[in-house]
Structure 1
Amino acid sequence: MGLMGAWGLLVLSGLLDVAWAVSVKQADGYSKVGWSVLSLILLGLFIYALGRALQMLPLSTAYAVWTGIGAVGSVVAGILFFGEAVDAARLAWIAVTLAGMIGLKLTSR
């Protein structure tokens, strides 16, 4: 796997993490079997993809970018799927998080 493949796996892992968070929310305390099973599958997939990406990428940058994808993605999912608040402050902090992720990616070796 090359460096671009590793970054692709990292992004995929971050998106799977967001899907996992949504499925955990939908599982309602793991009381809904279908959503619960899906959440466990997504958990395994995002951990696998993250582990593979970390074979090539520096831990400090990769983990920060991965958590940023999860954080921003979870805010967006909350807004889109669960009617969570959208306001200027939340959007500004999303922008700050994205800027930090881009900065870390651009300065990683």
Structure 2
Amino acid sequence: MAWVFLFLAGLFEIGWAIGLQQSAGFTRLWPSALTVGAMAVSLFFLGLSLREIPLGLAYAAWTGIGIAGTAVAGMWWFGEPFSIARLFCLAAIAGGIAGLKFSAA
């Protein structure tokens, strides 16, 4: 269940990263409120995952999910540049996190 909590934490991290952009520097009420809410939920699930997953691995996975998801969302919804090189870099992040997981045994 800890990995499910960590995955949910990562999804909410993507949400608050996108929310930061949509809140226009916290000048728009509802996007700002949703962003702060997503931050709280993300940290809540991260905290739950830390009951079973080592801190270094959990934090790397949490930020990795956020990095990859936010980058993909930027390319998909916000017209940010898309390239094979960017996808390769995202795969390298995922590979690094997987390496941490499988070397922790």
* TM-score (normalised: structure 1): 0.91
Q: Which amino acid aligns with 1:60?
A: G
Q: Which amino acid aligns with 1:102?
A: A
Distance 2:49 2:92 in 1: 24
Cα deviation for residue 101 of structure 1 reads 1.5
Q: Which amino acid aligns with 2:91?
A: A
- For structure 2, the 5+ residue unaligned runs are none
- For structure 1, the 5+ residue unaligned runs are none
Deviations 1:41-95 (A, max 9, x none): 1011001100111111101111111111111111001111210000121111011
Which of 18, 29, 32 is the equivalent residue of 1:33?
29
Match of 2:62 in 1: 66
* TM-score (normalised: structure 2): 0.94
Cα deviation for residue 106 of structure 1 reads 2.2
SS in 2 for 1:67: helix
Match of 2:80 in 1: 84
4+ residue stretches of structure 1 with deviation over 4 A? none
Cα deviation for residue 107 of structure 1 reads 2.6
Match of 1:106 in 2: 102
Q: Which amino acid aligns with 2:11?
A: L
Figure out how many residues of one structure are paired with residues of the other and give that number.
105
1:7 lines up with 2:3 in the alignment? yes
